[in-house]
Every structure is written in C-alpha cells, then in structure tokens.
Structure 1
C-alpha cells in the first residue's frame, strides 16, 4: 500500500468511525467497497483513467445508498457510487455542451482547455444540484477538488488541492470540532442524528 493510498484509507476510516459513533443514519447509508471491475467499467464510460485518490475512495466505500435519509454528510453532499459517477459525468458533459451554445463562444472555447471542465468528474452531489468534482485534466490542476454548478460558469469554488487533503481536513474537523472551509460540522437538530455543515 503506497503512502497516498494509506492516507486516503486512514482519513476515510476516521470519518467512518466518527459517523458510526455520532451519526449512525449517515453511517448506515455507506455502501460496500467497489470492485476492480466496477472501476474498469467506470473508466471505460468516462474515457480516461481514474485519479488514484478517486479509485482508493471507491475501493473503501462505493458511495451512499440512494434511498436513505442519511448520506448527505460529505460537506452536505451525497457521495456517488461508480454507476452514478458515470451518469453524472454524462450529464455534466451535456451541460458543458449547453453552456458552449449559450455563452460567448470565444470566451467559452478559450476557457475550455484552461479549466479542464470536460475532465471534472462528479464524485458527490448536493441537494442544490451543485457537484463536488475531481479535476482529471493532466497538468498542474490534476486531482484538485472543486464545487461546480452551471450558473457558476468557470467561477468554481476550489475545495482542496487533492481528495487526500480534503478527507484529512474533514476527519480533523469532525474529531476536533474545528471549521473546514469556513463550515462547522454539527448534528442536525431533531430525532435523527445527521451530520450537517454550516
């Protein structure tokens, strides 16, 4: 096991343990690990190799169940399983094509290769419709984590330099009650103990 994979798995286990102890409905929404065959299918569908961080996370937990109350614990987003990632990516590409028709074509086409928008792989979706993505464009931004919705255009919110950094920050925030990206973790007031970030 390499150092980065160990970091991903270690941070994820810390998050998982916190959910089990404090937000059981979120914990029980977690799905079993993805198989290597699931990852191969996903790579074939999106047309490029998965960043190792994404593959490592899916091997630890293949998203959350879609029919549960819990599961919106990932900065108020639901982690996609490998099938949902492929579907979300196809929808994302359709949105990119729509944006290219509706916006200034010169500006859009000049920003397209710079941003890597066609390589943004949605790993989680928020109730607002925004997605958390991992940039898969080769180069300096490879592996960056961002938040995107169509109304943002190219003005995305950068969440972390890598998924490993984001998971480590999330685990630290949960364990020590400190903010992450200006958001504090807390348990939703009510009968169900659900993690929320505000």
Structure 2
C-alpha cells in the first residue's frame, strides 16, 4: 500500500475536534498507580516550595473535583489523560504564577473551568485543521490547554497543552515552534521535582527563587 504523503503547503479544512459530538457526563476512574505516581511527584514539589519558595507554595490551587473534570471532558469531547486528572484533583490551577513557569515572566496554571473556557476560545479563534501533525500545529482541538504564558505576543503560542491522544505535553519554545516537550504530565511533574531538588534544567530553564517566588531563568540569557 503506498505511503500517504502530506500535501505542501497544507490544505486548511475544518477541525473536527473543535465540533465534538454530544457525550454524557461520566466520572471515569483513575488508574491507582498513576494517581500514586502523580501524588508522589507533587509531594516532592510541595515540600521544596514550602521550604524555599513559600509565596509560590501559597499560590497552588486547592483540590479540583472529579465531576468538574467530567463536565469539561463532555463539553470538549476529549478524555483528559489519567495523570492530568490526578494532577488537577490535587491542585486545580494556580493563583498567579505557577510552579511550571518556563518563561521570562512565568506562567499561570489553568483551573478546570479555565481549561474548558480556553479550549472554547481557541477553537472559536482557529477552527481549521492543517492536515499535518496536530502536535506541531499552532492549535488543534484535540489539545488540552493547561498553562498560560500571559505576556507572549500572538506570534508565539500562549498556552502549553496536553495532547488528549497519548498525553504528551507540549509548548512553543519561540524558536522551533509548537511541539511536544515531555511524554506525559507525570513526566513533567517529575522533571520539575528533579529540577527543584537538584538544580537541573527543564527545556532550557533553571529554577531560581526571588523574594519567596519561584522563577525560571533561561540558561542562555
């Protein structure tokens, strides 16, 4: 069978992921092993923040609700991966800059409702599918936005996303464009915990604390 060769330039077409079929609200169980793994990484992060960046620790959101996630899944037509759901159940967004602030001015973690509202806004703004790899498109409706880089201009994607098809975490690094950076939300949490405890980098950013607030410094700046 001949290989499918993508056309170039890509042909724009309506994004079917932005017009999902109606589906019931269903609270799905989370794999207990996944929840334990996510909670373990969050405990490492919380412990470090409490000792070193107390203002960022206090900015962590409270626990999310499983039904709120189920409502968002129903309205967006996507299943949140287990590790993303487990993370939201522990911390539902952030009040201000989050622990995942891989940008000069930081980034805010979205609440479950903000994820849903942002998805709707992005789909209303860009309802086209280029027919290329959805993970490298500026926006595709199968993605789940979870971080907001508030001070970016419109040329660089303002949101980090989780791919509902496989769970990879991606963002625009403003150099190579949008693309997957880590294989899962759990991998992101583990990378952040390692960076905090050991001073490691995450995609070219290294943690630092200024006046009790966690910041991420670009290693090339």
Question: What corresponds to 1:158 in structure 2?
Answer: 180
Is 1:72 matched up with 2:84? no
Is 1:170 matched up with 2:204? no
CA distance in structure 2 between the aligned counterparts of 1:73 and 1:148, rounded to whole angstroms: 18
CA offset digits 1:59-96 (Å, max 9, x no partner): 1111112xx5xx33313321111111111111221232
TM-score by length of structure 1 reads: 0.79
CA distance in structure 2 between the aligned counterparts of 1:168 and 1:127, rounded to whole angstroms: 24
The alpha carbon displacement at 1:115 in A equals 5.4
CA gap of 1:60–1:24, structure 2 versus 1, over 3 A, is same
SS of structure 2 residue aligned to 1:111? coil
The alpha carbon displacement at 1:4 in A equals 2.2
CA gap of 1:94–1:175, structure 2 versus 1, over 3 A, is same
State how many pairs are aligned: 176
Structure 2: segments with no counterpart, 5+ residues = 1-30, 153-157
The alpha carbon displacement at 1:22 in A equals 1.0
Question: What corresponds to 1:196 in structure 2?
Answer: 215
The alpha carbon displacement at 1:112 in A equals 6.4
CA distance in structure 2 between the aligned counterparts of 1:185 and 1:162, rounded to whole angstroms: 20
CA gap of 1:112–1:166, structure 2 versus 1, over 3 A, is closer
Which of 1 and 2 has greater Rg?
2
Structure 1: segments with no counterpart, 5+ residues = 101-107
CA offset digits 1:109-168 (Å, max 9, x no partner): 32266758221110111123421100013xxxx10100149x99x931422011111110
TM-score by length of structure 2 reads: 0.72
Q: Which runs of 4+ in 1 moved over 4 A?
A: 112-116
Q: What is the RMSD computed on CA atoms of the aligned residues?
A: 2.3
Question: What corresponds to 2:148 in structure 1?
Answer: 125
CA contact (8 A) 1:178 1:184 kept: yes
